[in-house]
Structure 1
Amino acid sequence: MFERHKLSNGVRVIVEHIPHVKSVSLGFWIGVGSIHENSKNNGISHFIEHMLFKGTTNRTAKQIAESIDSIGGQLNAFTSKECTCYYAKVLDSHLPIAVDVLSDMLFNSTFIDIEIEKEKSVVLEEINMYEDSPDDLVHDLLSKITFSNHSLGSPILGTNQTVGQFHREMILEYVANNYTCDNIVVSVAGNIDQQLLLSLLEEKFAQYTNKIKVPDTIEVPNFTKNSGHRYKDIEQLHFCIGLKGIPQGHKDLYPLLVMNNVFGGSMSSRLFQNIREDKGLAYSVFSYPSSYSRVGMMTIYAGINPNQLLEVTKLISEEISNMKEKGLTEEEFYKSKEQLKGNYILGLESTSSRMTSMGKSELLLNRVFTQKEILDKIDSVTMEDVCRVTHDIFNLQYASVALVGKIDNEQGVNEILKF
């Protein structure tokens, strides 16, 4: 069972004591991601994530890494559309070291000019690496065309042009505006001495009183029906269809998850069994929902031979029609709910998963659901709920299509939207 605390400076702390493990996962969550950026600073949230590992007033970059490596722990970070997380996983006896290192990175990073220039090269190589991963690139392209002219469609890494323009003053201003007390959540799961933990956090956060948070002026993204393609001289064609989904916290999220399991969310799903197993037309084919604070998207992906694009599109269209007209069988409905519960419960065996679930939920929804509440939400899904959500999701007037591979305008990309 988790407990919620608030430090004297207003930072929220979510703690779950798990006495039967020997590890602790600690995450510092910041409510800033690529959605908070603009055309001039796109990628800066991710760039700052990199820079926090480049040295503080107390540690060099090497000493930051050695501090956790030397105790057999893990130290990492990630940036998403809506948040940034810095996290460590260590033995319970080493919790003070993890708190010290992460707080040092958060509050004392130096952002030296020479390190900024070096890290630009690193991030530009990361962008180049991403360009060489068409199965990732196609999902970014789908977001770009679907949420056109909105920051939700911007790449998390930024672009060569925007990253090249970053400088120290820009970074410091962005940190001051977004790394604020009310925009930080500390999430901790594992074998924790809570009194020690809160004492350590109070000590490290006591002098941090930044509350300059810029008002949230992000407009609700419009879901746009669109199409786009990137020509790449590769053997496989990477193909995505995007449909209007469900935002975070919405009551229809769990019915959507139940439906997606059957449609394309697993190896036993209809898409996988039909297109890969029965027809042998794709190595990888699946669907998944993405939920953000104000909007959601349902994505269907396939990696195929370019010559089989129309056939695979037809098969996906048939599966969508079948889903809308006939719905789920009772057996599929039952198995999907059990699968969801099983995946959720198995995930709870990892302190990292628990820390992530609590931190993200508190940061983006201002609340954390108990295990019983989650399981009850899955159990309470009815066949009528799934039927309603199926018809809402598979509304092709919102469908967008993105393709990466050997394709050009002459192949009639826009025709695919008429399926």
Structure 2
Amino acid sequence: MVTIHTCGNGLRIVSESIPHFHSVAVGVFVKAGSRDESPEENGITHFIEHMLFKGTETRSAKDIAKEFDRIGGDINAYTSKEYTCYYAKILDHHAEHAVSVLADMFFNSKMDVVEIEKERQVVLEEISMTEDMPDDDVQEQLWRVMYPHHSMGAPILGTGTTLKSFTKDKIQHFMDRHYTPDNTVISVAGKITPELIRLIEKLFGSFRRLETEKNYRFPIFTPGHSFKTKETEQGHLSLGYPGLSITDKDIFNFTVLNNIVGGSMSSRLFQEIREERGLAYSVYSYHSAYSDHGTLAIYGGTLNEQMDALQEVIITELQEIRKHGPTAEEVTDSKEQLKGNVMLGLESTSARMNRNGKNELLLRKHPSYDEILARIEAVSPERVTSLLEVFDGDPAISIIRSKMDEA
């Protein structure tokens, strides 16, 4: 059972006790992602995530790494478009120590000027690495096309230009605005003790930062095209369509739709493009659901001379399912796949911690697993068919062609 405790400063602690497990996963979730950045700040959320690992007043970056290696635990973080998460997974008897280290990083990171300069170079290398991976780059370009005038379309890593402008003062100013108690959730799952919850409240339950008005704008999906050439072995194609938010009543119907289109090995696109025609090794679709909107994206990679054929087959398959709808068998199989994914998540403390933290941060509600399974079971071919109108409009398209094939 998921329990929520609200501290005096407004910070929420979400816990799910699993006594028969021997591990604990704990995450510090902050509702600050790349969508919260101004154009000049693009990438600063991700940069802050890096800097919190670069040492505190009492621990160096090496000390933080060694402490977790010494106890056989993992510590890491990730930045998304809507939130940032700092997390650890450890054996239950090391949980209090892990929470203490996370709190030290959260409150006492030095943001040393020398470390800022070093980490700036690290992130520049990370940006270059992404640009060197065309299957990632083509989808990064797709987001720029879909949301050209909104921060949802900006890269999470930022750019070389914005990265160079980050100073200790700019970092602190952003954290003062967003790293506030009302914006923070601590999620913990596994073999939890009352002492651990009391320690979390002691460490996180009294800090205060000025709550400021958040700059909120609704992202508007925009069809369009992006085209690049690069020295790659093959061409890459990505198409984007509007999706649904995580709060939409049809979110499970849309998830089933995505599975049928390209979200599994038995999907329409995988079977037709890879298995039947051998047009691509990698082809898939995915649905990204956010608090107020969503996006369905399709990706495929193939040789330059087959790029037009790949795009044509994708469009043809979308038109085919739009015209005739999914079969009852496809819907049933997709529902079973979705149920399996939900139930397999029960076997991981990390998955439960992430689910609970995200639910509390973005939804402020925690449906039970029985409720989720009931909603999946309620998915019908008729409702899935009604959502196919998403493919009626023009898509956003991003293409990277290989210079090597053109030479």
Give the TM-score range, shorter chain.
over 0.9
Structure 2 partner of 1:276: 274
Displacement of 1:206 after TM fit?
4.3
Report if the CA contact (8 A) 1:22-1:92 is conserved.
yes
Q: How does 1:153-164 map to 2 (within 5 A)?
A: 153-164=153-164
TM normalised by structure 1 equals 0.94
Structure 1 partner of 2:4: 4
Distance 1:206 1:57 in 2: 21
Question: Is 1:401 matched up with 2:400?
Answer: no
Distance 2:20 2:319 in 1: 48
Question: Is 1:236 matched up with 2:234?
Answer: yes
Listed as ranges, the gaps of 5+ residues in structure 2 are none
Structure 1 partner of 2:207: 208
Match of 2:143, SS? helix
Structure 1 partner of 2:284: 286
Distance 1:17 1:230 in 2: 50
Structure 2 partner of 1:15: 15
Report if the CA contact (8 A) 1:235-1:405 is conserved.
no
Distance 1:42 1:213 in 2: 21
Displacement of 1:170 after TM fit?
0.4
Report if the CA contact (8 A) 2:327-2:381 is conserved.
no
Q: Deviations over 1:84-132 (max 9, x none)?
A: 0000000011111111000000011110111111110111111111111
Report if the CA contact (8 A) 2:73-2:90 is conserved.
yes
Distance 1:198 1:322 in 2: 53
Q: Deviations over 1:254-301 (max 9, x none)?
A: 111111111111111111111001100000001111111221111011
Between 32-41 and 309-318, the greater mean CA deviation after superposition: 309-318
Match of 1:348, SS? helix
Q: Deviations over 1:148-205 (max 9, x none)?
A: 0110000000000100111010011111110000000000110111x21221012212
Displacement of 1:213 after TM fit?
2.7
Displacement of 1:56 after TM fit?
0.6
Distance 2:308 2:126 in 1: 33
Equivalent position amino acid for 1:277 in 2: E
Structure 2 partner of 1:415: none
Structure 2 partner of 1:333: 331
Displacement of 1:395 after TM fit?
2.0
Report if the CA contact (8 A) 1:9-1:209 is conserved.
yes
Displacement of 1:207 after TM fit?
4.1
Structure 2 partner of 1:362: 360
Match of 1:336, SS? helix
Distance 1:132 1:406 in 2: 13
Change (3 A) 1:207 1:58: farther
Distance 1:165 1:138 in 2: 26
Match of 1:396, SS? coil
Equivalent position amino acid for 2:391 in 1: F
Q: Deviations over 1:333-385 (max 9, x none)?
A: 11110110011111221110110111111111122221112111101112211
Q: How does 1:103-252 map to 2 (within 5 A)?
A: 103-193=103-193, 195-210=194-209, 212-252=210-250
Match of 2:344, SS? helix
Structure 2 partner of 1:77: 77
Displacement of 1:8 after TM fit?
2.2
Report if the CA contact (8 A) 2:12-2:186 is conserved.
yes
Structure 1 partner of 2:67: 67
Q: Would you identify which runs of 4 or more consecutive aligned residues in structure 1 move more than 2 Å?
A: none
Report if the CA contact (8 A) 1:245-1:295 is conserved.
yes
Listed as ranges, the gaps of 5+ residues in structure 1 are 411-419
Match of 2:281, SS? strand
Match of 1:332, SS? helix
Structure 1 partner of 2:33: 33
Equivalent position amino acid for 1:154 in 2: A
Equivalent position amino acid for 1:382 in 2: S
Give the root-mean-square deviation of aligned CA atoms: 1.4
Distance 1:53 1:337 in 2: 40
Structure 2 partner of 1:345: 343
Calculate percent identity across the aligned residue pairs.
46
Report if the CA contact (8 A) 1:187-1:355 is conserved.
yes
Report if the CA contact (8 A) 2:78-2:85 is conserved.
yes
Report if the CA contact (8 A) 1:77-1:87 is conserved.
yes
TM normalised by structure 2 equals 0.97
Displacement of 1:406 after TM fit?
2.6
1:261 pairs with one of 259, 262, 276: 259
Report if the CA contact (8 A) 2:8-2:206 is conserved.
no
Distance 1:33 1:328 in 2: 36
